[in-house]
Amino acid sequence: MSVYTRVEAAEVVAFLRDYAVGELLELHGIADGIENTNYFVTTSGGRFVLTLFERQADSELEYFLELMVVLADHGLACPRPIMADDGTYLRHLAQRPTVLVERLAGRAIEHPSVAQCAAVGGALGRIHRIGRHVHRRRANERGPAWWRFTADALRAVLDAEAMALIDTEIAFQTALDTERLPRGVIHADLFRDNVLFEGEQL
């Protein structure tokens, strides 16, 4: 269940006053997802998703919001954040950083076809190219420091042979000279439940 923070319709009505999206008609919690609180929001002006971020700070989210705007501006099927009347995308609801985004059509596919997989591959390539237009930069939070931290956390539960394999691989990866490799935006959270299709169309 991904409704960790419950909000009442009256709270959402007040929140939406800062947006030019019309009056609230429906509010439904979304059961999918594991990290944030999500609601489907239908207003007289359209269909949206309201996300309350449970763990991330405002400063972390600004990068992703800019990325989503840039991707949507370049025609990628990405939910566009809705700008509030004050020109910002990120607001607060129930003491959580909160964003309102367009609700895209389609549904998650449990067993994608070859054509659907090809469509996802094409979209990933476009994300890499379009990502050059994002001005903010973000460090890889799953890089070598995280590898070592996670390996240390696993030492108490894995046997010596498994840990030796992990340690050897971390040593190999960190010895590689990656500084001259190209860098860019990737989709590091690609799961079936966050890719929507209408037929074969992404």
Q: Is residue 23 part of a domain?
A: yes
Q: Give a yes or no: residue 187 inside a domain.
A: no
47: containing domain: 9-104
**Where does the pLDDT of residue 32 fall: very low under 50, low under 70, confident under 90, or very high at 90 and above?**
confident
CATH number, domain containing residue 61: 3.30.200.20
Q: What share of the chain is helix, strand, coil (3-state, %, to 5)?
A: 35, 20, 45
Residue 38 lies in a domain: yes
**Is residue 71, in this structure, part of any structural domain at all?**
yes
pLDDT digits (tens, 9 = 90+) for 118-158: 999 999 999 999 998 988 888 888 899 999 999 999 999 99
Higher pLDDT, 181 or 90: 90
Query: What is the reported pLDDT for 136?
Result: 85
Residue 146's contacts (CB-CB under 8 Å, 6 or more residues apart) are: none
Position 49 scores a pLDDT of: 97
The predicted pLDDT at position 182 comes to: 86
Report if residue 134 sits inside a domain.
Answer: no
Q: How far is CA 167 from the centre of its chain?
A: 30
Which residues touch 100 (CB under 8 Å, ≥6 apart)?
Answer: 16, 19, 21, 41, 48, 49, 50, 81, 82, 91
Looking at the domain assignment, is residue 80 inside a domain?
A: yes
Pairing of strands 196-197, 107-108: antiparallel
| DSSP H or E stretch at residue 49 | strand 46-52
The structural domain count of the chain equals 1
In a domain, 197, yes or no: no
Q: 69 pLDDT exceeds 60?
A: yes
**Where residue 2 falls among pLDDT bands split at 50, 70, 90?**
low
Is 184 inside any structural domain? no
Q: What is the pTM of this model?
A: 0.84
